[in-house]
Amino acid sequence: MVVASIILWSGALLVIAASLAAAATAIRFHRPRLALLAVAPIAVGLAGAAFRLEVPAPSHTFAVIGGVGLALIGVIAGNPITVAVLAFADRGNGATVIDGHHGGIVVTESADGTRHDAEVLRGGTTIGYVERLVVIAAIVLGHLEIVAVVIAVKGLGRFSELDSPEIRERFIIGTLVSLAWAGACALLIVV
């Protein structure tokens, strides 16, 4: 049984490493759909957890490496996965979303009959990384109230920018996807 556990955990760690590589490649080459490869192992892990399948780690080293790997997938892969879901949500409306230079998105605003481009939700990429890191840490540490604080701070901090339906939609979808992804990865760490 120990040999089977070592083989299974070694395979899981290789899949985690491959998922991290896919996420990093997706970010580097602006191909967010590539990060969807990271969804498969998380989905399999969640299915295993739902059916209470347990394969104890053969050593603490395997458990720690697996936990750190899952946390990294939660933080890093969350960005391109969120971008892919937002692109899916935007399909069909003819809108093209342009990434801004400061981690936000560029939208066309109309002021006094003149139209100009403006970057909104600035720092969104960085905020997303921090948000997922804090959510994963909160769940792993068992302090779910921290997740509520993250949501409140993010909502209050962005409130003044949520003046158009398109921006509100992207904010809500992006936040929900980011939080759900971080929560799913954190669940696999604690189960």
106 three-class SS: strand
| Plot region of 30 (φ>0 → left; ψ -120 to 50 → alpha; else → beta) | left
pLDDT tens column, 85-135: 988 887 766 556 677 777 676 766 655 656 667 777 788 889 999 999 999
pLDDT tens column, 52-63: 998 899 999 999
- pLDDT score at 31: 94
Distance CA 156, CA 142 (A): 24
**pLDDT more than 90, % of the chain:** 66
Mean pLDDT of 27-43: 93
Split at pLDDT 50, 70, 90, the class of 136 is very high
- pLDDT score at 114: 64
Is the CB of residue 97 less than 8 Å from the CB of residue 90? yes
Distance CA 31, CA 180 (A): 21
Distance CA 68, CA 16 (A): 10
> Who's near 12: CB < 8 A, 6+ residues apart?
41, 66
Closest residue by Cα to residue 12 from 60, 78, 57: 57
- pTM equals 0.87
